Chains A and B, each alone.
Chain A
Amino acid sequence: GENVEQHPSTLSVQEGDSAVIKCTYSDSASNYFPWYKQELGKRPQLIIDIRSNVGEKKDQRIAVTLNKTAKHFSLHITETQPEDSAVYFCAADPPPGKLIFGQGTTLQVKP
């Protein structure tokens, strides 16, 4: 069945270091891969997304890479700050028009 695996489940880094979160998906028909950030008790918010026609996308300190052949994609956060601390979810969109979410990664950035 459709599945998205996300690793690691928790990640602790020092302020200023980089953080990398990885996801793999099962359905090769997936073409859209968003990343969401969720602070405690709040709504998930889209931070970056990538479509299958590109291999990498950057937005300031955040980047996402996609390897369609291997069916995995990754989130990279550089120069981490304490306000980056949150739960991050990856997702993939196998047809017909729904998102499958990973289990989430709790990122802690230590000052």
Chain B
Amino acid sequence: DGGITQSPKYLFRKEGQNVTLSCEQNLNHDAMYWYRQDPGQGLRLIYYSQIVNDFQKGDIAEGYSVSREKKESFPLTVTSAQKNPTAFYLCASSILTEDQPQHFGDGTRLSIL
């Protein structure tokens, strides 16, 4: 979906370094989500936000942090506390009512140097 932009497409992290993944949407969606996908695995929820200045932990929030200062933006920081960060990270957004699909960005592939 052209309305959700993730950057960068590829990212490399050094030991002890924090890195931030960008996610921007112009769909006027209230809800935004971050997922982690490991090879051959499903999507695991890291964090989600249903309104500006509020967010909730998902199933694997440890070692990650987020902010939601603007409706359009939901950046994800992978901190040095995340010891196994190599994965494909997907951002999604949806209308904040029940029974609505999530629309995904193109993803960011993060690797350790």
Contact = CB atoms under 8 A, between A and B. Distances in A.
B71 interface: no
Chain B residues touching A, majority SS: loop
A46 interface: yes
B98 A97 contact: yes
Contacts of A42: 106-107
A31 B100 CA distance: 10
Given A42-B106, A98-B33, A98-B58, A93 B99 contact: yes
B91 to A, nearest CB: 10
Given A102-B42, A103-B42, A104-B42, A34 B101 contact: yes
A43 B101 contact: no
Interface string B71-91: 000000000000000001010
Contacts of B100: 32
A98 B43 contact: no
Nearest to B35: A101
A49 B102 CA distance: 11
Interface in A63-110: 89, 93, 97-104
B17 interface: no
| Chain B interface size range | 20 to 34
Contact of B104 (A31, A43, A49, A97): A43
A75 to B, nearest CB: 15
Contacts of A57: none
Nearest to A102: B42
Interface string B37-50: 00011111100101
Contacts of A97: 31, 48, 50, 96, 98
25 contacts: A31-B98, A31-B99, A32-B99, A32-B100, A42-B106, A43-B107, A45-B104, A46-B101, A46-B102, A51-B99, A89-B43, A93-B98, A93-B99, A97-B31, A97-B48, A97-B96, A98-B33, A98-B58, A99-B33, A100-B45, A101-B43, A101-B44, A103-B41, A103-B42, A104-B40
